Amino acid sequence: MNHAIEEYGRQRAIRRQTLERWLHLSESDGEVLLEFARELNIGENHLREFLDWMEEMAHRDVVSFRDIVKSSSIEPIWKDPRLGRNDKLRRVKEELRRLRFPRLVQAEREIQKRIRTMGLKSEIQLSVPLALEGGFLMLQVKSTSHEELKRLVGELATLMDRIEVKEVFDYLSGEAV
């Protein structure tokens, strides 16, 4: 098994330090990670990030790497024959992030749900920073004329009374976390 992991590391130019972490896993965990890595053709950066997350989850939830990689929310993605490598990798990463940072991702999803519920016109965009750092709401208004801008600002004023806006701020300021 170690030989196969070393060989994968050589092919994908994985750093020695990262490879050592992999080699220190139990045989069962190392094996399933190899299968997973080969399927997704994982390089150094993703491997390191996944190792971090899985190690932290394994400790927190008292589970093995095998439990995580073979879980009902992860395995169907990386074994789905209909998906290409990039889609698999993106979706696996999203799901691993959700498992690693459950409350952050829950807050992000609740905020997105409320923004969608508001049904904003395409000229008005509400967004939040990456991982909610900064705790602010960003507003973008696109306008090609003075008249249009006046109309959009009027609509914005109405929007501010909606409960969803207040709820978004409750999430951003920790009230709803």
- CA angle, 160 then 165 then 166, to 5°: 105
Task: Tell me which amino acid residue 113 is.
Answer: K
Beta carbons of 67 and 92 less than 8 angstroms apart: no
* Smallest distance, other proteins to C-beta of residue 137, A: 12
d(CA 126, CA 136) in angstroms, rounded, equals: 11
Closer residue to other proteins (CB): 74 or 107 = 107
Span near other proteins by CB under 8 A; candidates 85-93, 113-121, 125-133, 151-159: 125-133
154 is an interface residue for other proteins by CB under 8 A: no
Name which position in 16, 59, 82, 146 contacts other proteins (CB under 8 A). 59
SS3 category, 55:
helix
CB of 55 vs other proteins, minimal distance in Å:
7
Instruction: List all residues 6 or more positions away from 46 whose beta carbon is below 8 Å from its beta carbon.
Output: 40, 89, 93
> Which residues ranging from 38 to 57 are in contact with other proteins (CB under 8 A)?
52, 55-57
Q: Which stretch binds other proteins (CB under 8 A): 63-71, 116-124, 128-136, 153-161?
A: 128-136
User: CA-CA distance, 92 to 140, in Å (whole number)?
Assistant: 31
- The least distance separating other proteins from the CB of residue 164, rounded to whole angstroms, comes to 17
Amino acid occupying residue 21: R
Return the number of other C-beta atoms located less than 10 Å from residue 134's C-beta: 11
Q: Rounded to the nearest whole angstrom, what is the least distance from the CB of residue 57 to other proteins in the complex?
A: 7
What does the binding site for other proteins look like in residue numbers (CB under 8 A)?
52, 55-57, 59-60, 100-104, 107, 131-136, 171-177
